[in-house]
A and B are shown apart, each in its own frame.
Chain A
């Protein structure tokens, strides 16, 4: 095995996790900011956090975060299948995370579609999308905490590596 194929050679293994967590934190924060809670509960009164009560600001940041996340997901998937799959396998915890992230992304896409001019969904579908988007995010948070405590990461080294 040459030095280039050792797990440490993939810089993605170093920066993926902090980038992923940072993105999820921003998306979670701005996502919850879509509900009128930060002003009510004085969080927006904390110096530097007044923007959390600005619905347009949190909405734009949420959209920008979604743009970055979509690019990041595709990058991560291609890099995994192109470079890492021979040395690593995805853990069960990773499959759970991927399923929840996919559900969040899909419901988010429908939410974005609904916000476009001339796109009209039924009231029931709109509510299902809204609530499921929030629910999947909360499930991801809960499972994320469980996996963090039980130290279940995304990747397992395959035998021989």
Chain B
């Protein structure tokens, strides 16, 4: 028997599922914040990285329990243009040279000229954890969100895998796995397509007072973590004293991942492989700046409406008064 889906059943089903999800949701890791309420940022010193991938392995090991275990076969999706994104087979899970749902941190390589000497640089790439993250701001379902400590997370038990977060992310960071998540309980053929995954900067470890795995396991201390003001100050000190270039301080309005590099980022950007799961080092304007300005305009709009209306009422009342005067 075919199962007809009406608008009512869709809304009802969605609301019930969403409420159930809310009720069963893991509480916000409220302790995952700095004492003074400042956001935590990391500083990645590209000069120190030796490309050993210890950070990649550490990330995979500690976050293994968060990785998707999709149900197969995947639901048939309509229309046909909706493609399956599947990294769950053995080969997919082993991919390390790009970001995937099973690889939230990858090493990029670049051969560049440093002080007249050809040098091979390596550096970890992952979510930049923007201060005003478009992925969290524009997520229609509330699955992607920013924590008070500046970490942006995607709740895998809420995400429907619509990929909007990846589309609006300036670095295309989140990666989709089909066949897992809430959409399977709603309308798997007609809406959603899995769950989006990305670095959550080990928010659960930070909540317990531990370091993110990639920082803890790095043998070269490539990354440091701390309140953003201190991280920015350290990046500026390095830029002033050692002539390095900074990335992330102002990109997309400011991120909580800063890089320092011995060469300009234009140079680095030209030397790296870019594409799906391989983020660029382009300059990035603040993607949410226009929206923030319009939000301010929303404060003014009622007063403009009030002024116009008072003018209109005054004008009509005056005209009525004049007419009454003439009539008498």
Contact = CB atoms under 8 A, between A and B. Distances in A.
Interface stretch (B62-70, B163-171, B240-248, B269-277): B163-171
B316 A71 contact: no
A133 to B, nearest CB: 10
A117 interface: yes
Nearest to B11: A138
A148 interface: no
A42 B79 contact: yes
Interface string B76-109: 0001011000000000000000000000000000
Contact of B298 (A37, A42, A66, A130): A66
Nearest to B23: A124
Nearest to B77: A40
Contacts of A76: 309
A122 interface: yes
A116 B153 CA distance: 17
Interface residues of B, number: 58
Given A4-B320, A40-B82, A75-B306, A126 B145 contact: yes
Interface stretch (A16-24, A57-65, A90-98): A57-65
A73 B306 CA distance: 9
Interface in A108-161: 109, 112-118, 120-124, 126-131, 135, 138
Nearest to B148: A120
A112 to B, nearest CB: 5
B129 to A, nearest CB: 13
B233 interface: no
Nearest to A5: B320
B142 interface: yes
B305 A74 contact: yes
A68 B327 CA distance: 39
B15 A135 contact: yes
B301 to A, nearest CB: 4
A7 interface: no
Contacts of A112: 295, 298
B297 A67 contact: yes
A83 B301 CA distance: 21
A4 B327 CA distance: 12
Given A4-B323, A56-B168, A124-B22, A116 B309 contact: no
Secondary structure at chain A's binding surface: helix, strand, loop or mixed? helix
B290 A78 contact: no
B292 A116 contact: yes
A123 to B, nearest CB: 6
A25 interface: no
Contacts of A15: none
Contacts of A113: 295
A66 B137 CA distance: 17
Interface string B306-328: 10111011001101100110010
A120 B29 CA distance: 13
B15 to A, nearest CB: 6
A2 interface: yes
Interface of A: 2, 4-5, 10, 34-37, 40-42, 55-56, 59-60, 63-64, 66-79, 82-83, 109, 112-118, 120-124, 126-131, 135, 138
Given A35-B162, A123-B142, 9 more contacts: A71-B301, A71-B302, A75-B305, A82-B317, A113-B295, A121-B145, A124-B25, A127-B18, A135-B11
Interface of B: 11, 14-15, 18, 21-22, 25, 28, 79, 81-82, 131-132, 137-138, 140-142, 145-148, 155, 158, 162-164, 167-168, 191, 253, 287-288, 290-292, 294-295, 297-298, 301-306, 308-310, 312-313, 316-317, 319-320, 323-324, 327
17 contacts: A4-B320, A34-B138, A36-B163, A36-B164, A59-B138, A66-B294, A67-B294, A70-B302, A75-B308, A78-B310, A83-B313, A115-B291, A123-B28, A123-B142, A127-B22, A130-B140, A131-B15
